[in-house]
A and B are shown apart, each in its own frame.
Chain A
Amino acid sequence: MNAILVIEDEVIIQLFMEQTLLRAGYTVDCCDSPREVLQVPDFNRYQAIFCDIGLGDREMDGIDLFMRIRETCARPFIFVTGSSDLGTARRLNGVHHPYRLLRKPVVEADILQALGELGLV
């Protein structure tokens, strides 16, 4: 089990994350919308889930998606956001689930560091 799920709606950024993780030795699956994520049969086959918060979906952002699937997913989430809004961090307060919050823009080293902090490298 060396797989990571990347949830990102912007193709270039998704490609960048995929390439970075592939180079680090992971296999990568990508989703670009919450709807697609909800069709994933088993989240626990991934070591971690990278999830953009602003997914371009009016009804569900990355945190809503996380709240919806965390019952069936024991794997850590790494949220990526371009927003510095404190509300984002507040919504994650009190959530008893391993997660990290990365602020965009991120480079390869940030991604690897987040995985390292979760003990996954």
Chain B
Amino acid sequence: MAKSLEVPSVFQRAEVLGIVESLACAGVVAALLLLSLQLVALWAGLRNQAAGAAMVRVEDVPGFIFPARVALLALVALSFVPVMLALRWANRRALRCGRDLESVQLALRESHHRIQNNLQSVIAMLELQAVAAPGVEERTALRVAQSRLRAAGVLHEHLCQSVESGQVVIVRHIRAVIDAALVALGRAADTRVVVKLPQSLALAPDRAFWLGAIINELVTNSAKHAVHGDDRLAIGVWIGRDARGLMLKYGDNGGRPGATSPSPKRLGYQGNGRKLMGAFVKQLRGCMGNNFNNPSQHSVRIVFPN
């Protein structure tokens, strides 16, 4: 897991280093001041006594503490100097690091903003084309493409927010993807969603992206083909640990009781949906369980490494 590094914490560290450096400076100045006072006292004492006495011992000089203490003070003053220099160096490095981090985060925010704006422009162009499209199928295809782009925008948003921690919290991520897909497909109000997965489950951003893309495809397929008319859609997502890593189970209420053959439009039977799902699962380095064959129940099972 990438280590979290935040601009404020770097600057706080620099502030602490600055305070310690100031204390070290004060120590050097105090020691040098004391040393100077001692030398002045020694010089003045020797000068006064030289007039009246032939032999002068330094210990007898008034105001002079002791030669050993002078040496000690000099040593203390000198020992502060490398500490001070090391602290100054660390402080400057922390400040430089903070500034670099700040500019990287600024650039990330700006590029994120541009990506979202560009996605919006593409969606706008697709919608303008959809309005002018002659047939229902073309219009539907163009709107599904918009919904995929919107899902990509939601995924991107989540990934950007998780850059600092290096991990994406999956429960929030999946909820956001499902909500975005249902709103885009006009099924937000009449869909019951059940999501069951460990609150603590987190994945690296690239893996979270593909997992989100899979969920988006599954929800899109459910919203388009599971129920018809005024029937209420219900979808369930479950992720749990498996011997091979993690297992995603997805199901909806789109089964057809009593049916003898599965609906040809359900995911996994044919068309682009199958190809896309296959590609997304491959990106996740997982495998998809082949349990599409029950026409009265629609569920998908995907196992992927943690």
Contact indicator A19/B109 (Cβ below 8 Å) = no
Within 8 Å of chain B (Cβ to Cβ): is A104?
Answer: yes
Contact indicator B150/A107 (Cβ below 8 Å) = yes
Contact indicator A19/B131 (Cβ below 8 Å) = yes
Query: Which residue in chain B gives the minimum CB-CB distance to A108?
Result: B127
Within 8 Å of chain A (Cβ to Cβ): is B113?
Answer: yes
Q: Mark A1-36, 1 if CB is under 8 A from B, else 0.
A: 000000000101101100110010000000000000
Within 8 Å of chain B (Cβ to Cβ): is A94?
Answer: no
Within 8 Å CB of B125, what residues of A? 12, 16
Contact indicator A109/B186 (Cβ below 8 Å) = yes
Contact indicator B116/A105 (Cβ below 8 Å) = yes
Within 8 Å CB of B161, what residues of A? 84
Q: How many residues of B sit at the interface, in one of the four size bands?
A: 20 to 34
In the assembled complex, the Cα of A45 lies from the Cα of B113 at a distance in Å of 32
Within 8 Å of chain A (Cβ to Cβ): is B160?
Answer: yes
Query: Which residue in chain A gives the minimum CB-CB distance to B187?
Result: A109
Contact indicator B119/A105 (Cβ below 8 Å) = yes
Within 8 Å of chain B (Cβ to Cβ): is A71?
Answer: no
Within 8 Å of chain A (Cβ to Cβ): is B146?
Answer: yes
Contact indicator A109/B185 (Cβ below 8 Å) = yes
Contact indicator B109/A83 (Cβ below 8 Å) = yes
A23 to chain B, nearest CB (A): 8
Within 8 Å of chain A (Cβ to Cβ): is B170?
Answer: no
B65 to chain A, nearest CB (A): 59
Within 8 Å of chain A (Cβ to Cβ): is B86?
Answer: no
B122 to chain A, nearest CB (A): 8
Contact indicator A107/B131 (Cβ below 8 Å) = no
In the assembled complex, the Cα of A84 lies from the Cα of B147 at a distance in Å of 20
Find residues 95-121 in chain A having any chain B CB closer than 8 Å to their own CB: 103-110, 113
Query: Which residue in chain B gives the minimum CB-CB distance to A84?
Result: B157
Contact indicator B184/A107 (Cβ below 8 Å) = yes
Find residues 136-195 in chain B having any chain A CB closer than 8 Å to their own CB: 143, 146-147, 149-150, 153, 157, 160-161, 183-186, 188
Within 8 Å of chain A (Cβ to Cβ): is B22?
Answer: no
In the assembled complex, the Cα of A82 lies from the Cα of B160 at a distance in Å of 12
B159 to chain A, nearest CB (A): 10
Given A12-B121, A84-B161, A85-B109, is A106 in contact with B128 using a C-beta cutoff of 8 Å? no
Contacting residue for B120 out of A13, A19, A109, A113, CB 8 A:
A13
Within 8 Å CB of B157, what residues of A? 84, 103
A121 to chain B, nearest CB (A): 12
Find residues 41-93 in chain A having any chain B CB closer than 8 Å to their own CB: 54, 82-85
- 9 smallest beta-carbon distances between A and B, as pairs: A16-B124, A82-B116, A105-B120, A105-B119, A105-B153, A82-B117, A104-B120, A104-B116, A12-B124
Which A positions have Cβ atoms within 8 angstroms of B?
Answer: 10, 12-13, 15-16, 19-20, 23, 54, 82-85, 103-110, 113
Which B positions have Cβ atoms within 8 angstroms of A?
Answer: 109, 112-117, 119-125, 127-128, 131, 143, 146-147, 149-150, 153, 157, 160-161, 183-186, 188
**23 A–B contacts, CB within 8 A, in A order:** A10-B121, A12-B124, A12-B128, A13-B121, A19-B127, A23-B131, A82-B112, A83-B112, A85-B113, A103-B116, A103-B157, A104-B117, A104-B153, A107-B123, A107-B147, A107-B150, A107-B184, A108-B127, A109-B184, A109-B186, A110-B183, A113-B183, A113-B188
